[in-house]
Amino acid sequence: MSDFSKPYTAKEHEDRIYERWMESGYFTPENLPDAKNRKPFTMILPPPNATGTLHIGHAVMLAIQDTLIRFWRMRGRKTLWLPGADHAAIATQEKVEKELYKKEKKTRHDLGREEFLHRVDAFVEESRSTIKTQIRKMGCSLDWTREAFTMDAQRSLAVRTAFVRMYDAGLIYRGHRIVNWDPKLQTTVSDDEIEWMEEKTPFYYLKYGPFTIGTARPETKFGDKYVVMHPDDERYKQYKHGQTIDLEWIGGPITATVIKDRAIDPEFGTGVMTITPWHDTADFDIAERHKLNKEQIIDLQGKLLPIAGAFAGEHVTKARPKIVEKLKEKGLIEKVDENYIHRIAIDSRGGGTIEPQILEQWFISVSAKLWSVSSNEETTLKEMMQRVVENGQITILPKRFEKIYFHWINNLRDWCISRQLWYGHRIPVWYCVACGKNAKNEQDLQKCTRPIVSIEDLTACPHCGGAIRQDPDTLDTWFSSGLWTFSTLGYPEKTNDLEQYHPTDVLETGYDILFFWVARMILMTGFLLGDIPFHTVYLHGLVRDAQGRKMSKSLGNIIDPLTMSEKYGADATRLSLLIGNAPGNDLKMSEDKIRGYRNFANKIWNASRFVITNTEEFSPATTEKINLTLRDKKILADVERLSKEITKDIENFRLYLAAEKTYHYFWHTFADNIIEEAKPRLKGTDTADKTSAERMLYETLITLLKLLHPFMPFVTEAVWEKVPNNKDSLLMVEKWPV
């Protein structure tokens, strides 16, 4: 058995070993030895976007999850780790549109909806297979027979079913709301997808009748006919709420109405402002409170409407200087603050500047009353989301994120779920355009005027048989992601999988999508199944470079996990992502660190070779009969203590400690001390002492290989093959040493 080649070269083993695992079928829980008597352990892989390639953020999640799943598999659980991909509507559509424009100078409108979606599907097909190959390179023991995609037939059925059920329960409604509109991508964007940028802009103090108002956006001021101040502001006490004032404004004389509202900060500027409810969230709220008129100033392309008079049709950014010029001419500018810092909202996915607009959108109400199946009382989605974490049904690790979660829930508003994209789940709502002309009775006629919600595709109005059209919008990506723990298991059918594997045990993901995704899964599962989606949420941090900066293409500091795995092996890459990675904390990563763990893989290889070549005549059956010296017994007891400690650490998600302890013990205790001390004994003439040493070394190595396997599956499996007694067995399904 001395065919160990001299340094360990990961490349020679990894693909081959992955193939062996695949052939064994053990990634599928039902194929595990004695599967019937195993208790299930489930994790669903957070689906990577179907557009991308694997990056270091994926690698860290894969390393943690594969470690957990391998640990629980060896501990005798019926482990299911289910893979999939997310269609990532906005990101994917944007990518394909860019490609299309670059290659053919066409927009999606040139192709039409159907043809465009064909292109997207082709693109997604290709990326999905790329990322799948890359996930395998990392050694992930995922059940590929259950692979899912958020846009496949089964998941689409789940999405429509969920929509219809929520609609029927009165949770989904349509309404005019102010939303974040991205004029570049021509869609709404959720609050969570916005990034704020600071920009130095002139701040204008404008004369508004007897008042002075401040604004950084004079181009939105055309329609302003309400002037708002704090009710307790002494300076303006002579003006009464509702009082009208005639004054000269940009486009000529207007009549303004005084509004008193507590949202105004008397300290800011002059303590008086005018409002633009159509294009500002705060102004919209004020207008709603006092039932004021709202007027649109800017269209969906970002151009000024006829209300702007001479400036109509001009893009806001181009019109602004001209408008300032006109204000100057009219003597309406009192002063300009040149050093004002203005914050502008950017769509973090596509980069367009957000222009708030009032639009008709679909919403999920988080505060509508509904009947809770599980607690048998009236509740709201918001209360339900809070309760399951509060009462410990769901644990979020690290604990401090529970506080952050509660804080978020407290400020939660209704969730806007419609997007004006083409790629995604089309909203399963139809409108009768035949105006109910064939309706048989008054009841049906009335139904024709309302939205028709259906799980099945409709081709004609079910009430009058007339023509219909489907809502053009698609659903927010997170709507389908929210169903992920159970849509992957067969929902809406009551499948065996759903029965057996849900709720899942652990959801492992980055803290950056706690609100986007984790919270929404809790919401969806709570309503649709009356259950929780998972027992434990484990949140990892961001991977940063050695200087602690975010990795980005422009900084050129990206560490590509695939290049690293190619160079140093997947095991080394994985270990570098686990050690020093405490939950919820960001992790600093450098190539040097990975190189260090490559050396460790080689250490395992070499020390194992030494032990294996010196214990060749052993078989587990005979080792039992060999008497151990006191010292060797003590060593084995130490290893047992270590095993217990490691087990506890992994059970409590302290992978960073478990990995480091095992690493340290293997290298600096086992290799540096135990093996060194055993060398003379192996060459000695005292047979009893010699065999005791052999047994001790053999058993220690076997235990350490098992302890290391979840962290470094390839090298440990490669060594396992070299142990004479193991022949065709796989370390992957060996019993955990406790």
Partner RNA sequence: GGGUCCAUAGCUCAGCGGCAGAGCGUUCGAUUCACAUUCGAAAGGCCGAUGGUUCAAAUCCAUCUGGACCCACCA
- Residue 9 found at the interface with RNA (CB under 7 A): yes
For 736, other C-beta atoms within 10 Å of its C-beta total: 20
> Is 352 in contact with 182 (CB distance < 8 Å)?
yes
Q: How far is the CB of 681 from RNA (least distance, A)?
A: 12
CA distance 17 to 143: 16
Q: Are 58 and 45 in contact (CB under 8 A)?
A: no
Which one, 43 or 327, has the nearer CB to RNA? 327
Q: Is 205 in the site for RNA (CB under 7 A)?
A: no
Closest distance between RNA and the C-beta of residue 96, in Å?
27
Binding residue for RNA, selected from 273, 429, 507, 658, defined by CB under 7 A: 273
Please state the closest distance from residue 10 (CB atom) to RNA, in A. Answer: 9
719 binds RNA (CB under 7 A): no
- Judged by CB under 7 A, which of 315, 558, 580, 591 binds RNA? 580
Q: In this complex, which beta carbon is closest to RNA, that of residue 35 or of residue 336?
A: 336
434 backbone dihedrals φ, ψ, rounded to 5°: -85, 0
Alpha-carbon distance values, 344 to 201, 302, 339 (Å):
10, 15, 15
Whose Cβ is closer to RNA: residue 263's or residue 637's? 263
Position 601 contacts RNA (CB under 7 A) = yes
Residue with tokens 């980055």: 510
- Judged by CB under 7 A, does residue 209 bind RNA? no
Question: In angstroms, what CA-CA distances link 43 with 21, 74, 75, 357?
Answer: 19, 15, 15, 40
Which pair of tokens denotes residue 276?
A: 């633009």
Distance CA 107, CA 347 (A): 20
Q: Shortest gap between Cβ of 402 and RNA (angstroms)?
A: 10
- Verify binding: residue 393, RNA, rule CB under 7 A: no
Residue 200 touching RNA (CB under 7 A) = no
Q: What is the distance in angstroms between the CA of the first residue and the CA of the last residue of the chain?
A: 29
Work out whether 606 is an interface residue with RNA (CB under 7 A).
yes
Region from 123-131, 235-243, 442-450, 585-593 binding RNA, contact rule CB under 7 A: 585-593
- Is 672 one of the binding residues for RNA (CB under 7 A)? yes
Output the smallest distance, CB 236 to RNA, in A. Answer: 11
Edge-to-edge strands of the sheet including 40-44? 78-82, 40-44, 504-510, 534-540, 395-397
Nearest of 711, 394, 336, 404 to residue 521 by alpha carbon: 394
Single out the residue of 595, 516, 522 nearest to residue 559, CA to CA. Answer: 595
368 interacts with RNA by CB under 7 A: no
Q: What is the distance between the alpha carbons of residues 22 and 713, in angstroms, rounded to a whole number? A: 14
Q: How far is the CB of 388 from RNA (least distance, A)?
A: 20
How far is residue 453's CA from residue 129's CA, in Å, rounded to a whole number? 35
Backbone phi and psi for residue 41, each to the nearest 5 degrees, phi listed first: -135, 120
Verify binding: residue 648, RNA, rule CB under 7 A.
no
Question: DSSP 3-state assignment of 150?
Answer: coil
Residue of 457, 453, 452, 456 lying closest to 433 (CA atoms): 452
Distance CA 379, CA 386 (A): 11
Q: Does 13 bind RNA (CB under 7 A)?
A: no
Site membership for RNA, residue 268 (CB under 7 A): yes
As a whole number of Å, the CA-based R_g of the chain is: 32
| Burial tier of 409 (Cβ tally within 10 Å: 0-12, 13-18, 19+) | buried
- Is residue 291 part of the contact set for RNA (CB under 7 A)? no
Q: Does 552 bind RNA (CB under 7 A)?
A: no
Considering only 52, 667, 733, 734, the residue that binds RNA (CB under 7 A) is: 667
Using the rule CB under 7 A, is 679 a contact of RNA? Answer: yes
The stretch near RNA (CB under 7 A) out of 384-392, 439-447, 666-674, 696-704 is 666-674
Q: How far is the CB of 24 from RNA (least distance, A)?
A: 28
Identify the residue among 16, 289, 403, 634 touching RNA (CB under 7 A).
Answer: 403
Is 6 among the residues that bind RNA (CB under 7 A)? yes
# binding residues, RNA (CB under 7 A): 67
Q: Which of 237, 369, 668, 735 binds RNA (CB under 7 A)?
A: 668
Task: Point out which span in 48-56, 554-562, 595-603, 726-734 binds RNA (CB under 7 A).
Answer: 595-603
Q: Quote the crossing angle between the two packed helices 561-568 and 113-137, to the nearest 10°.
A: 30
Strand partners, 359: 177
Per CB under 7 A, contacts with RNA among 312-351 are 342-343
Bridge partners of 340?
201
Pick the stretch among 37-45, 418-426, 477-485, 657-665 that binds RNA (CB under 7 A): 657-665
Binding site for RNA (CB under 7 A): 6-9, 191-192, 196, 213-217, 263-266, 268-275, 280-283, 342-343, 400, 403-404, 407-408, 411, 512, 515, 546, 548, 580, 582, 585-588, 592, 596, 598-599, 601-603, 606-607, 609-610, 657, 660, 664, 667-668, 671-672, 675-676, 679
